Homo-oligomer: A and B are copies of this chain.
Amino acid sequence: MYNADILIKNGIVLTMDTDNRVIETGSVAIKGDSIIHIGDSLKKFKSNTVIDAAGGIILPGLINGHTHAAMTLLRGLADDLPLMEWLNNYIFPTESRFNPDFVYTGTLLACAEMIMSGTTSFCDMYLFEGDAARAAKAAGMRCLLGEVLYDFDSPNYGPVENGLKYTESLIEKWKGDPLVSIAVEPHAPYTCSPHLLSAANELAQEKNVPMIMHLAETENELLEIKKKYGKGILEHLSSLDILGPNLIADHCVHLDGKDLDLLSEKGVRIIHNPESNMKLASGIAPVPDMLHRGIKVGLGTDGCASNNDLDLFSEMDSAAKLHKVDRMDTTVLNALSVLRMATIEGAKALGIDSITGSLEKGKKADIIILDINKPHLVPMYNPYSHIVYSARGSDVSHTIINGKVVMSDRKLLVMDVDEVMAKSRSRSREIIGFLLS
């Protein structure tokens, strides 16, 4: 008999491992932060904490590959507007007034929403990311994050030359943390000078952390780069020696086959954000062509100002459906491949697949349980179809991160959610004040 800290039993286990192994009535044993056993029996294990998944689905926690978590505070502030009006009249004027507590509160709210919709890891880019890191840590979420860098003054670190120093201090501060990792995150090729991009890349290489950047999100971005540098966007980045296995590129909507050949050859990883690309009318990323080339592709929600939620279940549904109609082919991006994008492939895209993204002995215990005893999840023929096309974030009953139960029977255990919501509402009143002043 072995002692475990948590036993989960009686669920359909979707491991999302290399073989997509499924255990029809399966169990998982957790000790400390790790999975120590997966199988159809727990006879050899005992524990004081036993979670009965009772016919539900046990699967790896989802991975939100790209977001701006604290933008929860801007959720629904200004929708359905022309892009430049949205940015210039609402988003930028508000963000310029943000301070550490806005980001701390907004990120905590985001963590509440993510945990309650089955996300256990997220990748973040925003302002005051030291405070975002504090919030993620307080919420017990796994994250990879970095301060957004660009050619303008930042309300956080001030003039552009301080951005990399701030990033470096984050890297030092969080080194070795079991949950929080830091990346170097220049905003995009059109908002960062070649000098800044090169320096960011150097820092990332030197510190051996990923570099994360928006790339080819809109057509306009490509035109701007062409105008500024007389080059295509990838030609521009190639000339700066930035394309490589260290780069995680968000969006990649406006890239053609030749571009994707290059990204594939260079080992660049991509995060796909279908709902944001739809809502902001950015375009439809050529995801089937990325996958065809073996590029590692994860799934992200983007920030709440352009989605307007952090629910990866609806994001999976949208991804699977969008590419079918785009390619006029019902077989494109099947449910399993989309769920892989939101779990193990997303982990690969972020470079965290050795610790999370699948249920395997020895990996960290990032696990969610879906309650399928609800009318909209009956009957069930195929759990992958169910997860992608029928389930919602609100069907997640339990969320476990790094071996710790952070939500149990839909009750958040890691924060006072009423207090977080109250503080967020209070921040939103200040935001309205900013816009009226």
Interface residues of A (CB under 8 A from B): 72-73, 75-83, 86, 109, 112-113, 116-117, 275, 277-284, 304, 307-311, 314, 317-318, 320-322, 324-325, 327-335, 373-376, 378-382, 385-386, 389-390, 392-395, 417, 420-421, 424-425, 427-428, 432
CA distance in complex: A378, B423 (Å): 10
Quick one: which of B86, B325, B376, B420 contacts A375, CB cutoff 8 A?
Answer: B420
Quick one: which of B278, B330, B428 contacts A81, CB cutoff 8 A?
Answer: B330
Closest B-chain residue to A379, C-beta based? B428
Docked-complex contact B375 and A76, CB < 8 angstroms? no
Docked-complex contact A327 and B281, CB < 8 angstroms? yes
* A to B CB contacts below 8 Å, 25 in the list: A73-B379, A76-B380, A76-B386, A78-B381, A79-B334, A79-B382, A80-B335, A80-B385, A81-B330, A86-B330, A116-B375, A278-B321, A280-B324, A280-B330, A281-B330, A282-B325, A283-B325, A284-B325, A309-B376, A314-B314, A314-B317, A318-B318, A322-B325, A378-B424, A381-B428
Main secondary structure of the interface of A (DSSP, over half): helix
CA distance in complex: A367, B227 (Å): 54
Docked-complex contact B392 and A392, CB < 8 angstroms? yes
Closest B-chain residue to A386, C-beta based? B76
Docked-complex contact B77 and A277, CB < 8 angstroms? no
| 15 other A-B residue contacts (CB within 8 Å) besides A109-B375, A308-B389 | A75-B381, A76-B380, A82-B331, A113-B376, A116-B375, A279-B320, A280-B330, A281-B329, A281-B330, A309-B390, A318-B318, A378-B421, A379-B427, A394-B394, A394-B395
Question: How many Å from the CB of A279 to the closest CB on chain B?
Answer: 5
CA distance in complex: A96, B79 (Å): 46
Residues on the B chain within 8 Å of A309, using CB = 376, 389-390
Docked-complex contact B76 and A389, CB < 8 angstroms? yes
CA distance in complex: A389, B382 (Å): 28
Question: How many Å from the CB of A161 to the closest CB on chain B?
Answer: 35
Docked-complex contact B376 and A79, CB < 8 angstroms? no
CA distance in complex: A233, B81 (Å): 37
Tallying the copies of this chain within the complex gives: 2
Question: How many Å from the CB of A356 to the closest CB on chain B?
Answer: 23
Quick one: which of B79, B277, B380, B389 contacts A79, CB cutoff 8 A?
Answer: B389
Residues on the B chain within 8 Å of A386, using CB = 76, 308
Known A-B contacts A278-B321, A378-B421, A393-B376; A385 and B308 likewise in contact (beta carbons under 8 Å): yes
Residues on the B chain within 8 Å of A394, using CB = 392, 394-395
Closest B-chain residue to A417, C-beta based? B375
Residues on the B chain within 8 Å of A393, using CB = 376, 392
Closest B-chain residue to A277, C-beta based? B325
Docked-complex contact A76 and B381, CB < 8 angstroms? yes
